[in-house]
Amino acid sequence: MQPRDLYTKVEDFLSDESFQRWVRFKENHTHWEEWTLESPERAKLVAEARVWVLSMKIEETELSAQEIQRSLQDTWEAIQTQQVQKPIWKMSWFRVAAAVLLVGTAAMTYFLVQKNPAQAVITYKDLVEKDTEGLIEQTNNSNKPQLITLADASSVLLQPKSKLSYPKEFSGNERKVYLSGEAFFEISKNPSKPFYVYANEVVTKVYGTSFRVIAYPSLPNVEVLVRTGKVKVMPNEEIEADTKEGIMLLPNQAARFVRNNLSFEKILDITQDKPLIASTNTIEQLSFEFRDIPVEQIFTTIEQAYLVKIEYPKEKLKDCYMTTSLSDEPLPEKLKIICESLGSDTRYEMNGNQVTIISSGCN
Amino acid sequence: MPLPQKNTEIISDLKLWNQLIADDKAAFSALFEKYLNPLVNYGKTLMPSHEKVKDCVQDVFVDIWLYRHSLSDEVVVKAYLFSSVRKRIARLYERDRIFRQTTPLEDLEFSLKFSIEHSMINDETLELEVRQLNQLLNTLPPRQKETLYLRYHQGLSLEQIAEVLEINHQSVKNLLHRAILHLRKEWKGSISLLLIGGYLAL
Say what the pLDDT of residue B148 is: 92
Asked if A171 and B73 come within 8 Å (Cβ–Cβ), the reply is no
Query: Could you say which of A282, A299, A315 is where a domain stops?
Result: A282
Say what the pLDDT of residue B120 is: 82
Say what the pLDDT of residue A205 is: 85
Asked if A44 and B18 come within 8 Å (Cβ–Cβ), the reply is no
Name the residue among A52, A189, A190 with its Cβ closest to that of B133. A52
- What was the ipTM of the complex prediction? 0.83
Asked if A44 and B1 come within 8 Å (Cβ–Cβ), the reply is no
Interface test with B, best of A44, A56, A79 (most B CBs within 10 A): A56
Say what the pLDDT of residue A140 is: 86
Q: Nearest residue on chain A to B65, judged by CA atoms?
A: A79
Say what the pLDDT of residue B179 is: 86
The CATH 1.10.10.10 domain(s) of chain B lie at 118-200
* Contact (Cβ atoms closer than 8 angstroms) between residue A334 and residue A326: yes
Q: Nearest residue on chain A to B59, judged by CA atoms?
A: A75
Shared domain check, A254 and A299: no
Tens digits of per-residue pLDDT, B112-122?
A: 888 888 888 88
Say what the pLDDT of residue A252 is: 72
The CATH 1.10.1740.10 domain(s) of chain B lie at 7-100
Interface test with B, best of A55, A74, A173 (most B CBs within 10 A): A55
Dihedral sign (CA A53, A56, A57, A62): negative
CATH number for A351: 3.55.50.30
The total of other beta-carbon atoms located within 10 Å of residue A12's CB is 15
Q: Classify A166 as helix, strand or coil.
A: strand
Report the CATH number of the B7-100 domain: 1.10.1740.10
Cα–Cα separations (whole angstroms), residue A127 to A107, A197, A282? 17, 11, 29
Shared domain check, A176 and A139: yes
Q: Is position A89 within any domain?
A: no
Shared domain check, A302 and A268: no
Say what the pLDDT of residue A94 is: 32
Q: Which residues of A touch B6 (CB under 8 A)?
A: 17
Shared domain check, A203 and A104: yes
Shared domain check, A288 and A277: no
Asked if A91 and B70 come within 8 Å (Cβ–Cβ), the reply is yes
What residue type is assigned to position A216 of the chain? Answer: Y
What's the total number of domains in chain A? 3
Cα–Cα separations (whole angstroms), residue A134 to A138, A151, A156, A201? 13, 14, 19, 22
Shared domain check, A112 and A249: yes
Q: Is position A78 within any domain?
A: no
Q: Which residues of A touch B185 (CB under 8 A)?
A: none
Shared domain check, A317 and A251: no
Say what the pLDDT of residue B71 is: 87
- Helices B25-44 and B7-21: angle between axes, nearest 10 degrees: 120
Asked if A54 and B130 come within 8 Å (Cβ–Cβ), the reply is yes
More reliable by pLDDT, B110 or A68: A68
Asked if A68 and B33 come within 8 Å (Cβ–Cβ), the reply is yes
- CA A295 to chain B, closest CA, distance in angstroms equals 31
Say what the pLDDT of residue B57 is: 96
Shared domain check, A195 and A139: yes
Shared domain check, A116 and A14: no
Q: Nearest residue on chain B to A61, judged by CA atoms?
A: B41
- CA A62 to chain B, closest CA, distance in angstroms equals 6
Asked if B191 and A47 come within 8 Å (Cβ–Cβ), the reply is yes
What DSSP string describes A37-92? HT-HHHHHHHHHHHHHHHH-B-------HHHHHHHHHHHHHHHHHHHHHS-GGGGG
Instruction: Going residue by residue through chain A, which has 363 residues, state the pLDDT in tens, using 9 for 90 and above.
Output: 567 888 888 888 888 888 988 998 888 888 888 899 888 888 988 988 999 999 998 888 888 888 999 999 999 988 888 776 544 333 333 333 333 334 333 333 333 333 343 346 777 777 777 777 778 889 888 888 889 999 888 888 888 788 899 998 888 888 999 988 777 888 887 778 888 888 888 888 876 566 666 655 566 677 777 766 677 888 887 777 767 777 887 777 788 888 777 888 888 877 677 766 666 666 766 778 888 888 999 999 999 888 899 999 998 888 888 888 887 788 998 898 899 888 878 899 988 889 999 998 886
Say what the pLDDT of residue B192 is: 44
Asked if B3 and A82 come within 8 Å (Cβ–Cβ), the reply is no
Q: Is position A70 within any domain?
A: no
Q: Give the structural domain span for A41.
A: 3-55
Q: Is position A74 within any domain?
A: no
Q: Is position A72 within any domain?
A: no
Asked if B71 and A52 come within 8 Å (Cβ–Cβ), the reply is no
Nearest alpha carbon to residue B36 among A81, A65, A58: A65
Query: Could you say which of A282, A305, A339 is where a domain stops?
Result: A282
Q: Is position A66 within any domain?
A: no
Q: Is position A349 within any domain?
A: yes
Asked if B32 and A79 come within 8 Å (Cβ–Cβ), the reply is no
- CA B94 to chain A, closest CA, distance in angstroms equals 23
Q: Which of A37-46, A337-346, B96-105, B149-158 has the lowest mean pLDDT?
A: B96-105
- CA B13 to chain A, closest CA, distance in angstroms equals 16
CATH number for A255: 2.60.120.1440
Asked if B68 and A57 come within 8 Å (Cβ–Cβ), the reply is no
Shared domain check, A254 and A308: no
- CA A95 to chain B, closest CA, distance in angstroms equals 9
Shared domain check, A260 and A211: yes
Name the residue among A15, A54, A63 with its Cβ closest to that of B37. A63
CATH architecture assignment, domain B118-200: Orthogonal Bundle (1.10)
Shared domain check, A177 and A110: yes
Name the residue among A51, A60, A86 with its Cβ closest to that of B133. A51
CA atoms of B143 and B176, how far apart (whole Å): 10
Asked if B115 and A57 come within 8 Å (Cβ–Cβ), the reply is yes
Q: Is position A60 within any domain?
A: no
Name the residue among A23, A58, A71 with its Cβ closest to that of B120. A23
Tens digits of per-residue pLDDT, B7-61?
A: 677 778 999 999 999 989 999 999 999 999 999 999 999 988 888 899 999 999 9
Say what the pLDDT of residue B19 is: 92
> What angle (nearest 5°) sits at the alpha carbon of residue B75, between those of residues B70 and B48?
95
Name the residue among A50, A55, A72 with its Cβ closest to that of B114. A55
Say what the pLDDT of residue A118 is: 37
Say what the pLDDT of residue A87 is: 41
